Structures are given as C-alpha cells and as structure tokens.
Structure 1
Amino acid sequence: MKLILVVVLTTAIAAIGITLSLILSQRQAARDRALSIISGNKLQDATGKPSDKNDPNKRRAALARKLKESEQEEKDDKKKKEKGKSTMRELIQQAGFDFPVSYYYILSIVSAAAFTIGAFSLGFPRIVIAMISIIGFFGFPRLVLFLLTKRRQKKFLEDFADALEAMMRLLKAGMPMNEAVKMCAKEFEGPIGEEMSRIYELQKIGTPLGEAAVLVAKRMPIPEMRMFATGLLIQQQTGSSLSDILGNLAKVIRSRFQLKRKVKALSAEAKSSAGIIAAMPPLVALGLNTFNPGYIDIIFETRSGHIGLACFGLWMFTGMVIMWKMSNFKV
C-alpha cells in the first residue's frame, strides 16, 4: 500500500511539473516574439533617413520603458486577481456587458438553482447534488463569460486590421486622429465600433489618445490591442508618423491573424485525434457496463480499484494537458 501511495504522489508531482514547464516556456516564447516584432520596426523621416527625432537609441529606450511599464501592469493585474478585487467586473466588461456585478451573482444563483433541480429530479445522491450546485454557481456562469469573451475577441480581430488601415488612409487625407477614430466607430459594427467609440468618448473628456487606448486595452486584453496602445504611446513621445505606425501595425496584425488560421488548420487533425483518444476509455467503460452489467463494478467498490481509477484519471488528465499544449500554439 505504501508503495502504491509513493507511486501516486510521484506521478502527481511529475504531472504538475510537466504542466508548469510547458506553460512557462510558452509565455517566454510569446514575450520573445513580441519583443522581436516591435523592435524590428524602423521609423524614417521624409528624406528616407533616420531623423534625430526618431533616433534608434531613443526609440529603444522608449520601447524598453513602455515594456517595463506593461510588465508592471501585468504584475499588478495578477496581484488583483490573486486578491479577487474587481476581477468579476473586468470579466463582465471583457464579455461586452456593462451590468453590475450584483446582477451577475443573481444569475449565478438562478443557474445554481436550475442545476440543483435538474440533479434532484434525476435522482443523484446528495453529495453529487451538492457538487452540481457548486458547479452551477461558480463554474457555469464563468464558463459562459469566458466563451462570450473569446467570441468577442475573435470578432474584434477579424476587423481590427481593416480599421487600422482605414484610420491610416484618413490620416494621410489630412483628417486628425480623433476624427479618424470617430469615423471608424461609425463605419464598423460590433466590438470594433464599440471600443473605438469608447476611445473617442475618452478623448472628448480630455484623456490623451495613448492613455485612452490603454484603458480600452483592459477591456480587450489581446496582444494586438496592447501593441496598438503601445504604438500610440511611443508615437506621442517620439513624434513619428502615426499613419506609418498604423500601417505597419495593420500588416503585423493581418500576418498574425493569417498565421493563426494556418496553425488552426494544420493542428485540426491533432486536436481531433486527441479528442478521440481522450474519449475512448470512458466510452469503452460505458459500453462494457451496458452489455455486461457488473463487469467493472470492482473498480468502484474496492480500495485497489479506487487507487487504480485515481491513477488512471491523473494520467489521462496529464496526457490531455500535454496534447492540448502541443496542439495549441500562441502566435
């Protein structure tokens, strides 16, 4: 028995270590890609030569300062999330809603009641009913917000490059930046129109353009929006051509979006294979129990069966996490 417990603990520690190493390596790779993308841009004056105003050393210093500030903001956001302050409000805003947090908790109570009634009507044990109620209150509403946020971000990215190119053309035609933002807010629908309209409203009350973009980036926390806000902040300090910045940023965002589509298409087979492999053991167990009732009851009724089931679940979870990390690439 002690040997089995040692094996289970060792397996759990190994699984946690593998998962953490994969997550940390992906975060470091994403940060390196962002640094290479931003540091590769070159600003020039009308003669085609780097001007004193756009000196590479000054640009690198400004870029390093902005990156340091963004990292500090990310650390502050993580501290807030750990403390649980205003996290739910941010999730609601990212999903595109503006209702108060109390309304969300009322809907969570309704969801928990519906889950509880459904579980009670199906005749589940009390412990299972309690667990389903907890899932209905804490899990299901957050899952809905998460899915709505991802769908909104996907729709935002589909039109973001076009919106930047439209602003670039308006700036080259002689229109000021605030009017270009206003025109994009009118011409584009959905998340693009909402966020550009919010930037314009913040400008009307005296907020600088870069700071307004940073505030809106908190409602749309994706790398492309952070790059847009960082580019505007650097432009305010270096005085470079805003139309060139928007044009280069639109090209980068369009390339990233195309690469994401390509990665999704290439990894579709791996994802389907992972889903089939993960679904096979439960489906086989269900089939055995259906055609030969009582055949696998020993797994649920004996202590050794419980330990084997726990090891099976742990390894299945580890394999699913590894396969998910291998087939999901952050561009």
Structure 2
Amino acid sequence: MENSLLMSLIPATGVVLLIIGFYKTWFEKQVQAQEHIQDLLGNVSNRNRPAKDQDNILKRRKKNKDGTASKREQLEIKLERANMLITPNEFYMISIGSALLGGLVIWFLSGQNMLITIPLGAACIALPYAFMSLKTMLRMKKAAAQFSDVLNSMVNAFKTGFGFSRAVQMVADNYDDPWGTEFGKMAAEMNLGASMEDALYSLSSRVPSPDVDLFVTALLIQKETGGSLAELLGNLSHTIRDRYKLFQKVGAISAQGKLSAGIVCCVPFLLCGIMYLFLPDAMIQFVTNPIGIALLILAGFWMCCGVGVLYKIVQIEV
C-alpha cells in the first residue's frame, strides 16, 4: 500500500511543479523583457546615463567578484555565460525534476530500497549544475581560441571604413556561438539605445576572460584619448594570439600531472568495481560494516587531498 502511494505521489508532484514552473517562468519572461526594453528606450535621452550606468555595472561586477551577490543573481550570470536561454526558476524546476526522475529510476533499479533511493535521488539534483558548468567551460575555451580571429575581423572592418557598431554587427553575422551570440547581444543593446560603454561592460560580464577585459579596457581608453582603432586592435590581437599559444604549450607540459590526478581518482573506483564482480559478498559486508564505512570515508578524504594538491601543482597562470 505504501509503495503504491509513493508511486502515485512522485509523478503527481512532478507534474504539479512543472505546470507551476512553466506558467511562472512564461509570465516572468514577458515582464522582464518589457521592463528591459522600457528601461533602455526610456533612458536614451538622459545624458547622464552613461556615467551612472557605468558605475552600476562596475558595482555589479565587483559584487559578483566578491561573492556578495545573491544566489539568484549568481545563477542568472552562470546561465548567461552558458548561453542557456532559461530563467533561474526554470533551472530550479529542471533540477527538481531531475531529482524526482532520477529517484524514481533508482527506486526501480534498487528493488524499491528507500535507503539507496533517497540519497542517490537527492544527488541527481546536481546533474543540471554539472551540465551548466561543462557547457560554460567548453564555451569559454572556444571563445578563447577564436578571440584573436574576431579582433582581426574587426580590424579589417575598420580598415574598410566601417564604424564600431557596423563592425560588431559584422562579427555577429559571420561567427557562430559564442562570439556570434555575444556580439549579436552587443549589437542589439546598442540598437536599443545603450551606449558603447554599457555594451562593452555587459560583454565583459558575460564572458569572464582576461582577454575580454583587456579588449574592453583598450576600447574605453582609445575612446577617451583617440588614435587608430585598427592599429590598436591589431596589436591586441597579436598579443592575445601569442598568449593563447603560450597557454596551449603550458597545458601540454602539465598534461602528465593532470593525467596522474585523473588516475588517482579513477583507480579506487575501478578496484572496487573489480572486487565487487569477483567477491560480491565480501564487498557488501565491507560497505555495510561501520569499520568499512569509516575506512572508506578516510580513504576518500585523503584521495581528495591528493587530487587537490596535484591540481594546484599543474595549475599555472599564464
């Protein structure tokens, strides 16, 4: 009776949460879009806006770096960096749905064992976070590899007589994600009335990279002091390309240490799996005995310490 009640409660709860989440996020998207457009269009005529907005953006960036931003603000920034076009509420609903679905699958596979289902099902809530982190990492790596080419394209646009807005639009049209997406957002912001400073600071917030910060700083200084923008971005592109080559060389040199850290992580789990295949009774007694559990916790702690030390050794700033 209890099992049948649980079987009916889990899907019903998931359906109710999904309905609430879809309605709430759909309504919030409309409200947020209208507020954002009205804020941009309503302040175009305000001449004091650039300095005011620049201060706000700088405070927001400092707030994010210091870790004083709220959890929702941090999640919004992470979703934007991963180019996941969902709101934080939608992400929370996906995480809850992942936990419910994972718990239901584990409940069937474990023979309806609640002691295994509850902790493993709760751990499934981290799957969307892991996917978001992986997507962000891959996207930032691709952005770092293509940034010098993007700057060269802007240099060619400036040499042919295009202005900054037209050069940004050209990059948005000719490149895929991430730079096509990010420069497309820049072009849309400037078309809606945002200043060049606003668009650049928004870009540096969405793409947390030293190269992008250098690009933004160079453009803002050039705007104040003047000079050839094509020559400036050409020299910057050359510097970023050399820096990326050095970064790749350092990554190749430290690959052995990273491989060692990966082996240290994988070997214990591989040995446990082999022992479970050949000595299942002994392994079950070991993981259910208090002494065995204490030994596993101790071994896991020292393994994490070793991996952390190896990670610090192979992390070389370029």
Q: TM-score, normalised by structure 1?
A: 0.70
CA distance, structure 2, for counterparts of residue 306 and residue 263 of structure 1: 40
Change (3 A) 1:186 1:102: same
Give matches, 1:107-186, under 5 Å. Answer: 107-123=94-110, 125-137=113-125, 139-186=126-173
CA distance, structure 2, for counterparts of residue 297 and residue 98 of structure 1: 44
Is contact 2:110–2:116 with CA below 8 Å preserved after alignment?
A: no
CA shift, 1:264, in A, is 2.5
Give matches, 1:35-54, under 5 Å. Answer: none
Structure 2 residue 227 is the aligned partner of structure 1 residue 240: yes
Give matches, 1:1-331, under 5 Å. Answer: 74-78=61-65, 83-123=70-110, 125-137=113-125, 139-295=126-282, 299-331=286-318
Is contact 1:211–1:233 with CA below 8 Å preserved after alignment?
A: no
CA distance, structure 2, for counterparts of residue 203 and residue 176 of structure 1: 13
The code of the aligned residue for 2:222 comes to Q
CA distance, structure 1, for counterparts of residue 292 and residue 99 of structure 2: 32
Q: Which shifted more, 241-250 or 144-153? A: 241-250
Q: Secondary structure at the match of 1:85?
A: helix
The code of the aligned residue for 1:106 comes to M
Q: CA RMSD in A?
A: 2.7
Uncovered stretches (5+) of structure 2, i.e. residues with no partner: 1-54
Q: Give per-residue Cα distances to partners, 1:263-307, cap 9 Å, x unaligned.
A: 222222222222223322333333334334454567545544443
The code of the aligned residue for 1:132 comes to L
Uncovered stretches (5+) of structure 1, i.e. residues with no partner: 1-67
CA distance, structure 1, for counterparts of residue 223 and residue 76 of structure 2: 30
The code of the aligned residue for 2:302 comes to W
Q: Secondary structure at the match of 2:110?
A: coil
Is contact 1:171–1:243 with CA below 8 Å preserved after alignment?
A: yes
CA distance, structure 2, for counterparts of residue 70 and residue 250 of structure 1: 26
CA shift, 1:186, in A, is 1.6
CA shift, 1:319, in A, is 0.2
CA distance, structure 2, for counterparts of residue 134 and residue 90 of structure 1: 25
CA distance, structure 2, for counterparts of residue 255 and residue 169 of structure 1: 20
CA shift, 1:317, in A, is 0.5
Q: Secondary structure at the match of 1:86?
A: helix
Q: TM-score, normalised by structure 2?
A: 0.73
* Residue in 1 that maps onto 2:51: none
Q: Report the identity percentage.
A: 28
Is contact 1:210–1:236 with CA below 8 Å preserved after alignment?
A: no
CA distance, structure 1, for counterparts of residue 312 and residue 57 of structure 2: 26
Change (3 A) 1:260 1:128: farther
Is contact 1:203–1:209 with CA below 8 Å preserved after alignment?
A: yes
CA distance, structure 2, for counterparts of residue 252 and residue 183 of structure 1: 23
CA distance, structure 1, for counterparts of residue 265 and residue 304 of structure 2: 9
CA shift, 1:217, in A, is 1.8
Q: Give per-residue Cα distances to partners, 1:147-202, cap 9 Å, x unaligned.
A: 11122222222222111112112223332222111222222222211111221222
